[in-house]
Structure 1
Amino acid sequence: MNNSKKKRVFEILQIGRSDDTASKAFDYLLVLVIVINILVMILETFESFSGYRSVFAIIEICCIIFFSIEYTLRIWTSDLLYPEETKGRAAWRFMTSYDGIVDLFTIVPLFFLSGFVAFRMLRVVRIFHLFRLNTNYDSFHVITSVIKQKKNQILSSLFILFVLMLGASLCMYSVEHEAQPEVFDNAFSGLWWSLSTILTIGYGDMYPVTLLGRVIAIFIAILGVGVVAIPTGIISAGFVEQYNRMQREAIKSKGTVALNAEPGSALIGLDTIGLLREFGISPLVIIRDGSVIIPTDDIRIVEGDTLVYYEDEFGRTL
């Protein structure tokens, strides 16, 4: 009986189960609590609402209690999320995961409501709860997949950007320090200027006054436009490639096999590595509640999923 209750709690806590009314209602409740919490954080900054701070404090405590209960239940049901682990290791694995860390940082401010600013700032982490609500949909997986696939190109372009910023800051400091020592007083001041110039922010708090400094600034601004466009182009091209791949794989039917994760199936709880090791299956896509998901290492099969993979004429998976 306890196991069935535990499984039911686990199912309700899972995000994105549109076929489960209770789970869907919990998702909406979670969104509502997050939105209310963020709204309170914003309203607290207005002097005109200073008379309601006691009300805001009560709302914040109620929200954190809600998050604390959710965090406790997720730890309690973590052995169902990681069925291959022991209860202790499953709990630890959840607590050190992205979701677990976000949940923990969300409830920490409850114990430091009037403490250090650093702990109060942890309230901002609650915004990242919204990312969790999107983890089971196409858009989130496209973003993460593109970043993983293009990480080498992105890191290379960011390195080029950093070198340009460093060179520009040292040049500007060397040229402008004598003319305006109170503005370009050290190399870091030049780095701040190069950052705002290359990224076309232009705060206006620092600018060259010498002729040579202005000439250098012109070249840096022109180079910055091209350098910043490199990672932007890489990510944009990756989005297009990934969406096209998803569309092609979703409509292909010839040579593909669809395998459903029925209740009690041994597929449930396995990640992509486990599927390959246990069943020799490397799914192209996972269809979950009508959404097409590109498999990644952190995706686990849940009840109701449909795995689509290639199989040749001899029945071998590809």
Structure 2
Amino acid sequence: MRKAFKKRIFLLIDEKGRKESPWNRFFHLSIMALILLSVTGIVLESFGPLRERYGNVFQWFEWITIVVFSIEYLLRIWTADLKFTEDAPWRARLRFMLSPMGLIDLVAILPFYLPFFFQFDLRFVRILRITRLLRIFKLNRYTRALGLFTSVFFEKRNELGITMFVMFLLLLMSSTIMYYLESDVQPDQFPDIISTFWWSVATLTTVGYGDVYPVTGWGKLVSGVIAILGIGLVALPTGILSAGFIEKIEDKHKKEADEAADEAKPFKYCPHCGEKL
């Protein structure tokens, strides 16, 4: 009886149980709606007049959200052995808790409970409240769009890592060069290499806020070169991710075409030898 009930719960909350449980889709849509409403509430709460007038409503809704997310998290831990059947129950639960989605589920509720057990500075409590926005990543479990982005980002992590490392080297070199060129003329704007990083970031990304800029001839020359290099270098991660998306979409279309072709065949397997046609 307990195993059957546990199986029904698993089919209800697991994203792969949609084919077996008609309530699974309703559950997922409800959780998605709650996530979006929760994030909307966080944004609306930042408006002073709304916070003063509906502060109790925001608080009650936050409590309801935390209760639902907490129950969902505990149920996923409880049914983890049905998801990872090859592991022992305790290992399956630990595997879920340490998985990316398990950590996101934990971060979505943990900031609410920490102040009950530990005394924090009010500023740190505000930072904990900011982490509530991370619960939007829970949508990754229920939407294909975020799932596609995550898979592409994971597959291209090596190329992105190399690009980020090159960007860091360029930032470091440009900050060092600019510091030695401008620090004597503008000691308040370029006091050290670390502070000059802000100029490098603004220039390399071609944002150019204008709060810090070179005034010497050599400084302007280096700044122009860095800005030109930034146009191509900053675009590299975008190109890598775009190529990854195209590859994923093409693979998906090819898979769908192959499945359609298999369904169109009168026989999927040879009636004599049993091999797939």
Give the alignment's TM-score, normalised by structure 1: 0.74
Residues 16 and 133 of structure 1 are in contact (CA less than 8 Å); yes or no, is this contact kept in structure 2?
no
Higher alpha-carbon deviation: 117-126 or 87-96: 117-126
Indicate conservation of the 8 Å contact 2:39/2:136, yes or no.
yes
Q: Which residue of 1 aligns with 2:220?
A: 214
1-structure distance, mates of 2:181, 2:256: 58
Q: Distance in 2 between matches of 1:314 and 1:216?
A: 70
Match of 1:184 among 180, 190, 209: 190
Q: Cα distance, 1:93 vs. partner?
A: 1.2
Aligned to 2:77: 75
Distance 2:241 2:274 in 1: 39
Shift of residue 316 of structure 1? 9.0
Higher strand residue share:
1
Residue 7 of structure 2 corresponds to 7
Change (3 A) 1:119 1:231: closer
Instruction: State the identity %.
Output: 37
Give 1:124 shift.
Answer: 2.0
Does 1:129 pair with 2:131? no
The number of aligned residues is 261
The 5 A counterparts of 1:36-47 are: 36-47=37-48
Q: Give the match for residue 57 of structure 1.
A: 59
Q: Cα gap change, 1:63/1:86 in structure 2, threshold over 3 Å: closer, same or farther?
A: same
Distance change >3 Å, CA 95–CA 24, structure 1 → 2: same
Report Cα offsets for 1:192-220 as digits up to 9, x if no partner.
11111111222222111222211111111
Q: Verify the 8 A CA contact 1:108 1:122 in the aligned structure 2.
A: no
**In structure 2, distance between residues paired with 1:213 and 1:14:** 58
Task: Give the number of the structure whose residues are more often helix, by fraction.
Answer: 2
Partner residue of 2:96 out of 94, 101, 106: 94
Give the distance between the partners of 1:166 and 1:238, measured in 2 at CA.
29
After superposition, what is the alpha-carbon deviation per residue over 1:20-39, rounded to whole angstroms, capped at 9, x for unaligned?
43111111110121122111
Gap runs ≥5 in structure 2: none
SS at the partner of 1:252? helix
Are 1:154 and 2:160 an aligned pair? yes
Question: Residue 110 and residue 74 in structure 1: after superposition, are their counterparts in 2 closer, same or farther (change >3 A)?
Answer: same
Question: What do you get for the CA RMSD once the two structures are aligned?
Answer: 2.8
Asked if 2 retains the 8 angstrom alpha-carbon contact of 1:198 and 1:221, the reply is: yes
Which residue is equivalent to 2:25?
A: 24
Maintained 8 Å contact 2:10/2:17? no
**1:227 and 2:233 are equivalent in the alignment:** yes
Post-superposition shift, 1:229? 2.3
Shift of the alpha carbon at 1:126?
1.0
1:170, CA displacement in angstroms?
0.9
2:209 corresponds to: 203
Partner of 1:110: 112
